[in-house]
Amino acid sequence: MTLGRSTAPPVRREPPDTTPDATAGGSGGGTADLRVPPRIGPRHRPPAVSLAVRTAVPVLLLAAWWYGSASGRIPPDVLTGPGAVFGALRELAETGQLTDYLLASGRRAALGVLAGAGAGLLLGIAAGLSALGEELIDPTMQMKRAVPFLALVPLFISWFGVGETFKVVLIAVATAAPMYAYTYLGVRGVDREVVEAARGFGLRGARLAAAVIVPSALPSILMALRISLSVSLTGLIAAEQIGASEGIGYLVTLAQQYYRNDYMVLCILIYALIGLVIDLVIRGVERVAMPWRGQVAAR
């Protein structure tokens, strides 16, 4: 018996179907199964809706305050009503004292923040950039940060008296610690590869700090500025209650001495409005200096 070649016809293999209808989808549905992906990017509310949402809670609190005072549920000796507070505001505005007090407090706060936050910024950059700077600066600043600045008031009075120098120095000391801490952390958090790349292009020293380090640490620096400005209000109150003849803190002292509840509430509202203005200013700076920040958070 001899073996010969098989006479069976060869099997013909069809090429795979590569048409879009056959490859799209997993169930043979074709392009009908495809869907448009969801929108990527921030969803902006209309300005009127955003303003209404932002003011909803303050308006509700104001309405509850007015209703409680008008109905007698909140006694005047506990919390003065909005009408009495508005009357105190009008009284101060007509005499010109409100403008004088605001200008005096603003001048002291501006000088103190400029000195304290400026020093904290420079020390934070120096400690974050250099190992030697960290060894020289950071231990002292950490000890200073642990000491409440109000505990330094008697010492500063013995050094500077109760004049303007005492007030400015107290505010400066209060604002230096948060500015240093956040700036130091921001500088230390800068990507090392970015710094090495900048050094490869010849940037050194002050040019490296100004062109690469500070812009990269800008979110932390702006947060430090926001906190420093808020802390400066606390230092301002403490400073203006000692040896002052004008200022919002001095007005608080007068309200306490003469049991003027309306003036006390008015001062609280003024500080709240100052804090709101500070936040709006910092937000504006963030939008201008860091426009990409709005694309990060899910809206």
**Per-residue confidence in pLDDT tens, the chain, 299 aa:** 444 444 555 555 555 555 555 444 444 555 566 676 666 555 667 777 877 888 888 889 989 999 888 888 888 888 888 888 999 999 989 988 889 999 999 999 999 999 999 999 999 998 988 888 889 999 999 898 888 888 889 999 999 988 899 999 999 999 999 999 999 999 888 888 887 888 888 777 778 888 888 888 888 999 999 999 989 988 998 898 888 888 888 898 888 888 888 899 999 999 989 888 888 888 888 888 777 665 555 45
Name the amino acid, one letter, at 61: L
Kindly state the DSSP code that residue 74 receives in the 8-state scheme: S
Give the separation between CA 214 and CA 231, rounded to whole angstroms: 23
For residues 109 and 236, the answer to whether their CB atoms sit within 8 Å is yes
3-state secondary structure 27-74: CCCHHHHCCCCCCCCCCCCCHHHHHHHHHHHHHHHHHHHHHHHHHCCC
> What pTM did the predictor assign?
0.77
Q: How far apart are CA 299 and CA 183, in angstroms?
A: 28
Query: In 3-state terms, the chain is what percent helix, strand and coil (to 5)?
Result: 75, 0, 25
Instruction: Report whether 175 contacts 238 (CB < 8 A).
Output: no
